[in-house]
Structure 1
Amino acid sequence: MKLFRSTAAALALTTGLLALPAHAEVAQQNTSGDPLYTANAPKGYSMMGDLLIARPLLIGATAIGVVAFVVSLPFTALGGNVGEAAQSLVVEPGKEAFVRCLGCTTSGYRQD
């Protein structure tokens, strides 16, 4: 019975996480007329979901990526693709976790 409950909870959480970006993208509307404000003005519930669900998972993915990168380092060094492995295992999840604004769907730091 415990296995069934754990599986059901994991399935419900995964389904909810997969639905968040689509719901957050539809919910953004231009109320001020300023396109810059519209692009970077996520709703409060998408910020809360990002803070409580997405960021901890992305930080965990970054930590797991660091461990996987260190374990695979001898093999990637022999293959000559250390940069690609570091980019995909460490930099991309870290960028999503630490550089993306709270509640935004796109990553990166924009300098005006």
Structure 2
Amino acid sequence: MNLFRSTAVVLALSTGLLTMPAQAQSVQQNASGDPMYTVEAPKAFAIVGDLLIARPLLIAATAIGAGLFVVSLPFTAMGGGIGVTGKALVVEPGAAAFARCLGCTRVGYNRQD
């Protein structure tokens, strides 16, 4: 595959990945309607899509972000933005990959009792 086609495929997959949370969101609210008690209940297709598409891409984004962070470290150190750069390139993709339930759109563990 030539460079143009490879770039087009990556952009198409990235765009599809970015629209997944908007399509897969399924939120149930308590009878009181209080958003504090909102629990996500993802559908089966959201869980499968997250497991097969989103998680591998987020793990790859975390690894690539870590490499880019190391490469950009001398420049960000001079500018004083190490924390912001590290958070954007490593922490946020890592949290999205490892600190949320399958199919959920928000980071964090939700207990459903």
TM-score range, shorter chain: 0.7 to 0.9
For 1:24-39, list aligned pairs within 5 A.
Answer: 24-25=24-25, 28=26, 30=28, 39=39
Secondary structure in 2 matching 1:88: helix
Partner Cα separation in structure 1 for residue 5 and residue 70 of structure 2: 35
Partner Cα separation in structure 1 for residue 44 and residue 6 of structure 2: 29
Q: Which residue of 2 aligns with 1:99?
A: 99
Partner Cα separation in structure 2 for residue 29 and residue 104 of structure 1: 9
For 1:54-73, list aligned pairs within 5 A.
Answer: 54-73=54-73
- The structure-2 alpha-carbon separation of the partners of 1:65 and 1:9, relative to structure 1 and needing over 3 Å to count, comes to closer
Deviation at 1:17, TM superposition (A): 3.1
Deviation at 1:108, TM superposition (A): 2.3
Deviation at 1:34, TM superposition (A): 9.6
Deviation at 1:58, TM superposition (A): 0.4
Partner Cα separation in structure 1 for residue 109 and residue 27 of structure 2: 22
For 1:1-112, list aligned pairs within 5 A.
Answer: 13-14=13-14, 16-25=16-25, 28=26, 30=28, 39-109=39-109
Q: How many residues are aligned here?
A: 107
Partner Cα separation in structure 2 for residue 18 and residue 71 of structure 1: 26
- The structure-2 alpha-carbon separation of the partners of 1:64 and 1:10, relative to structure 1 and needing over 3 Å to count, comes to closer
Deviation at 1:83, TM superposition (A): 0.9
More helix per residue: 1
Q: How big is the alpha-carbon RMSD for the aligned residues of Structure 1 and Structure 2?
A: 3.1
Partner Cα separation in structure 1 for residue 52 and residue 75 of structure 2: 36
The CA deviation string for residues 28-48 of structure 1, in whole angstroms up to 9 with x for no partner, is 264x96985x62211111000
Q: Give the structure-1-normalised TM-score.
A: 0.74
Answer whether contact 2:66 2:90 (CA < 8 A) is retained: yes
